């Protein structure tokens, strides 16, 4: 009986368009080959002779390069099409990494990786737009869920290979990353037809998704609830970032010399939980309002991170990690759904690009401001603050849900009154 229940959970992913399964394979392939960035700091320090400050600055530049790339990818995808733009951006990301094999100059390598990061940044909004193009609103959560699963499946396996290559033949890190990018391009180009919506044929499209004139900023201003949504999400992104910033410091404070090893255990627990639980959570909440799921993610962040205030044993830290990881899954699989369901179809890729800034801002503030906060009050003071910020984010999402439902009811009442005239 238990086996049947588990198999039924996999039915959630049945019956989707072929494009979704191809995107899943492309995500697994591309993230499996994500060899360079995880080992970039180590490469610059151990092989290129950089100090930690210089290496950190280089990695920051590379990370920031993806932001304008995301915006460029979104704009191009909304104009020339998803398939062409994906091929251009994903191929270019791999090509500039491949060029790193032919130079030993640290500055040239950093420049090439920055350019690669720019193009790689453009890939995410393009793929999100394809998911929104081929799936109706009620199935998008499943589509974003399988994409998220593909990302994490590839990311869980890739570093094992990358670690071996780093120790034995470093050029293969760049070659492997590039080749997997090319394979992902071949998968998409050969198996996915162009999905760019036709604005002349949108009679059956929901009002929130009908095409609009103007630019992305005028379209965004007309949708204040998306702006509010993104502001609230900054708080959730701020708190989630503490799993890579404050948590390792806390573990070092609690466990001393065993802190780094224990942090590695928690990150492994996080990865395993994502791989095992994503499909089950998606099955359980597939009929939820996306805002309800994201609000619940905030509550789980509050519990998972907040309990760190009081715990001192590794088993309890593992339980904490399981809780906030479930929150991560609920947020990651519903964020894109809400954006897609409230975006004009001719702005989908651009909206996905701009909304990613919400995570970037939250992550940046979550490290810079929390660092100053820790300097003044210590790492133990982090978790009560994270608890309240998470609850604030959860409450904000829930209020936004209530307001959105109220507005829908008012529109329905007005429509019915008009029909009665």
Read off φ and ψ for residue 235, nearest 5 degrees.
-65, -40
Nearest to 148 by CA among 28, 11, 290: 28
In the 3-class helix/strand/coil scheme, how is the chain assigned residue by residue?
Answer: CHHHHHHHHHHHHCCCCHHHHHHHHHHHHHHHCCCCHHHHHHHHHHHCCCCHHHHHHHHHHHHHHHHHHHHHHHHHHHHHCHHHHHHHHHHHHHHHHHHHHHCCCHHHHHHHHHHHHHHHHHHHHHHHHHHHHHCCHHHHHHHHHHHHHHHHHHHHHHHHHHHHHHHHCCHHHHHHHHHHHHHHHHHHHHHCCCCCCCCCCCCCCCHHHCCCCCCHHHHHHCCHHHHHHHHHHHHHHHHHHHHCCHHHHHHHHHHHHHHHHHHHHHHHHHHHHHHHHHHHHHHHHCCCCHHHHHHHHHHHHHHHHHHHHCCCCHHHHHHHHHHHHHHHHHHHHHHHHHHHHCCCHHHHHHHHHHHHHHHHHHHHHHHHHHHHHHHHHCHHHHHHHHHHHHHHHHHHHHHHHHHHHHHHHHHHHHHHHHHHC
Task: From first to last of the 421 residues of the chain, give the pLDDT tens digit.
Answer: 455 445 566 677 888 999 999 999 999 999 888 777 777 777 887 788 887 678 878 877 888 888 899 999 999 999 999 999 999 999 999 999 999 999 989 899 999 999 999 999 999 999 999 999 999 988 999 999 999 999 888 887 787 787 777 777 888 889 999 999 999 999 999 999 999 988 877 666 777 888 888 888 898 898 999 999 999 999 999 999 898 888 888 998 888 888 878 888 888 889 889 989 999 999 889 889 999 999 999 999 999 999 999 999 999 999 999 999 999 999 999 999 999 999 999 899 999 998 888 888 888 888 878 888 888 888 899 999 999 999 999 999 999 999 887 765 555 454 444 344 4
Question: What pTM value is reported for the model?
Answer: 0.85
pLDDT value, residue 170: 82
- Half-sphere exposure of residue 49, counting CA atoms within 13 Å on the CB side? 4
pLDDT value, residue 98: 95
User: What does R_g of the chain's alpha carbons equal in angstroms?
Assistant: 22
pLDDT value, residue 287: 87
pLDDT value, residue 376: 86
Nearest to 126 by CA among 157, 87, 91, 179: 87
Q: Which residues contact 182 (CB under 8 A, 6 or more apart)?
A: 91, 94
Q: How far is CA 188 from CA 25, 107, 122, 157, in A?
A: 9, 33, 15, 21
Nearest to 188 by CA among 116, 130, 125: 130
pLDDT value, residue 318: 95
pLDDT value, residue 6: 52
- The domains of the chain are located at 19-190, 213-421
Architecture of domain 213-421: Up-down Bundle (1.20)
Query: Among all chains, which residue has been given the structure tokens 């640290």?
Result: 106
Q: For domain 19-190, give the fold.
A: Growth Hormone; Chain: A; (1.20.1250)
Instruction: Give the length of the chain.
Output: 421
Same CATH fold, 213-421 and 19-190? Answer: yes
In the 3-class helix/strand/coil scheme, how is 170-219 assigned residue by residue?
Answer: CHHHHHHHHHHHHHHHHHHHHHCCCCCCCCCCCCCCCHHHCCCCCCHHHH
């Amino acid at each position: 009986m238990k086996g049947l229940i588990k198999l039924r959970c996999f039915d959630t992913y049945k019956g989707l368009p072929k494009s979704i399964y191809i995107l899943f394979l492309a995500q697994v392939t591309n993230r499996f080959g994500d060899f360079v960035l995880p080992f970039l700091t180590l490469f610059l320090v151990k092989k290129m002779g950089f100090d930690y400050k210089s290496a950190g600055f280089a990695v920051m530049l590379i990370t920031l390069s993806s932001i304008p790339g995301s915006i460029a990818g979104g704009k191009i995808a909304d104009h020339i099409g998803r398939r062409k733009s994906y091929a251009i951006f994903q191929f270019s990301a791999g090509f500039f990494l491949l060029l790193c094999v032919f130079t030993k100059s640290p500055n040239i390598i950093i420049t090439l990786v920055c350019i690669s990061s720019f193009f790689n940044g453009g890939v995410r909004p393009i793929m999100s737009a394809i998911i929104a193009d081929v799936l109706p609103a009620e199935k998008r959560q499943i589509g974003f869920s399988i994409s998220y699963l593909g990302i994490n499946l590839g990311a869980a396996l890739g570093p094992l290979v990358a670690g071996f290559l780093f120790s034995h033949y470093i050029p293969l890190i760049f070659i492997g990353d590039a080749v997997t990018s090319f394979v992902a391009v071949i998968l998409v180009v050969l198996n996915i037809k162009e999905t760019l919506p036709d604005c002349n044929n949108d009679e059956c499209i929901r009002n929130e998704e009908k095409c609009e004139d103007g630019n992305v900023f005028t379209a965004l201003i007309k949708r204040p609830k998306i702006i509010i949504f993104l502001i609230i999400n900054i708080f959730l992104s701020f708190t989630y970032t503490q799993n890579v910033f404050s948590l390792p410091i806390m573990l070092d404070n609690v466990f001393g010399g065993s802190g780094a090893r224990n942090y590695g255990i928690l990150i492994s627990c996080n990865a395993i939980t994502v791989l095992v639980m994503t499909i089950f959570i998606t099955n359980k909440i597939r009929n939820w309002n996306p805002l309800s799921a994201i609000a619940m993610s905030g509550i789980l962040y509050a519990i998972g991170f907040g309990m760190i205030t009081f715990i001192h044993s590794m088993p309890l830290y593992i339980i904490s990690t399981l809780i906030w990881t479930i929150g991560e899954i609920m947020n990651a699989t519903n964020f894109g759904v809400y954006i897609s369901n409230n975006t004009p179809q001719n702005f989908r890729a651009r909206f996905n690009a701009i909304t990613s800034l919400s995570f970037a801002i939250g992550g940046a503030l979550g490290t810079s401001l929390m660092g100053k906060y820790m300097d003044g009050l210590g790492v133990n003071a982090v978790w009560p603050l994270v608890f309240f910020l998470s609850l604030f984010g959860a409450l904000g999402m829930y209020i936004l849900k209530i307001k959105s439902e109220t507005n829908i009811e008012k529109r329905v009442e007005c429509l019915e009154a008009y029909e009665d005239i």
